[in-house]
Structure 1
Amino acid sequence: MKANEKLDVREIRRKLGLNQSQFWSKIGVTQSGGSRYESGRNIPRPVQALLRLVHVEQIDINKVKRDDVEVAEYLKATNPELYKTLKKEARAKRKER
């Protein structure tokens, strides 16, 4: 999924078999807030990023540490080719599971 693609969050939620409360609580959004997003309200970029991480990439954000994020941001800024390679390898490893 490309960064600029619009997420169809209702479809993602339904494919995962989750109700609104289950789906949205995983990223810290209330059920009523999630309902508004599913009804067409613009989703803020940070929420979109969390949706992709948690529900598309299947990353457990409870296991992500601030240091991990800072290292990834630094690597992306200073060596984008290595960052892309590592990201690709990580995705392949997750698919193996």
Structure 2
Amino acid sequence: MKLFEKILNPRDIRKKLGQNQEEFWTRIGVTQSGGSRYESGRNMPKPVRELLRLVHVEHLDLTKVRREDFEIVEYLREQHPDLYKKLKKAAKSWKSGSESSSPLDADADDES
């Protein structure tokens, strides 16, 4: 089962976030009335579920998403998997505030 298919009831997510329907649904381009229908059990299309997951579960700000960012990630994953893993680990540490050095510093240490 894919991750976005695990969103069973968006109402539960909305209530956990403390948002009203208007706030919650407009962030992903769905009208309040459309969102209300989804919360009442109407089948939610996969693209809407994915947007809901990205915005409300993963807390991604869609205004900051750019195609080139995805192209860079794809390039790193395919062409430089070790660097991708280091950067991913460093980003997690950075988000939690526990790492001050760059993952590229480790490469410099490896070469000496």
TM-score by length of 2: 0.64
Amino acid at match of 2:47: P
Amino acid at match of 1:55: H
Question: 2:50 matched to 1:57?
Answer: no
Change in CA separation of 1:42 and 1:85 when aligned onto 2, cut-off 3 Å: farther
Structure number, greater radius of gyration: 2
The unaligned stretches of length 5 or more in structure 2 are 98-112
- Which residue of 1 is the match for residue 69 of structure 2? 68
Count of equivalent residues: 92
Deviation at 1:21, TM superposition (A): 0.3
The whole-number CA distance in structure 2 between the counterparts of 1:18 and 1:29 is 14
The unaligned stretches of length 5 or more in structure 1 are none
| Deviations 1:29-78 (CA, angstroms, capped at 9, x unpaired) | 110111111111111111111111111111111111122234445666x4
Tell me the SS of whatever aligns to 2:42. coil
TM-score by length of 1: 0.72
The whole-number CA distance in structure 1 between the counterparts of 2:92 and 2:8 is 19
Change in CA separation of 1:49 and 1:92 when aligned onto 2, cut-off 3 Å: farther
What is the CA RMSD across the aligned residues, in angstroms?
Answer: 2.8
